[in-house]
């Protein structure tokens, strides 16, 4: 069969199958911080199932473990250092008046 006559067939490319992120022996628990920290972004958000490549059941268990660890203060709710930096004062001129505006970075 000529290639021009089969426009919708995909070419067969080989690909390397990725390893699952959670091995069969891993226990999903709020105490297993090395496992839990892999599924949290730099900002402290829980990564989606599509990004993690987890099954639905695994994602639910990971989410519950992360929330338990947050409640027990093992993990921060937010991982945003900018929130706690010092505040800066900037001056803004509007006409003849000068206002001081606080900037939170």
d(CA 70, CA 21): 22
Q: Would you say 39 and 32 are in contact if contact means Cβ atoms under 8 Å apart?
A: no
pLDDT in tens, 11-32: 677 777 777 788 878 889 999 9
The residues spanned by each domain of the chain are: 33-72
- pLDDT confidence of residue 101: 61
101 versus 62: the higher-pLDDT residue is 62
CA 55 to chain centre: 17
Q: Is the pLDDT of residue 8 over 60?
A: yes
Give pLDDT, residue 7.
Answer: 66
In this structure, are residues 57 and 49 in contact, taking their beta carbons and an 8 Å threshold? no
Which range has the top average pLDDT, 3-12, 16-25, 55-64? 55-64
Q: How many residues does the chain have?
A: 105
Name which residue leads in pLDDT, 67 or 14. Answer: 67
Residue 87 confidence (pLDDT): 47
Could you tell me which residue, 24 or 105, shows the higher pLDDT? 24
Fold for 33-72, please state it. 30s Ribosomal Protein S18 (4.10.640)
86 has pLDDT over 50: no
SS3 content of the chain, % helix, strand, coil (to 5): 30, 15, 50
């Amino acid at each position: 069969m000529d290639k021009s006559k089969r426009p919708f067939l995909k070419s067969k490319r080989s690909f390397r199958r990725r390893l699952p992120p959670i091995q069969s022996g891993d226990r999903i628990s709020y105490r297993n911080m090395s496992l839990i920290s892999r599924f949290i972004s730099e900002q402290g958000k829980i990564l989606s199932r599509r990004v993690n490549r987890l099954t639905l059941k695994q994602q639910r268990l990971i989410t519950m473990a992360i929330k338990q660890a947050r409640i027990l203060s093992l993990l921060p709710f937010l991982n945003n250092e900018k929130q706690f930096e010092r505040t800066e004062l900037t001056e803004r001129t509007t006409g003849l008046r000068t206002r001081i505006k606080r900037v939170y970075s």
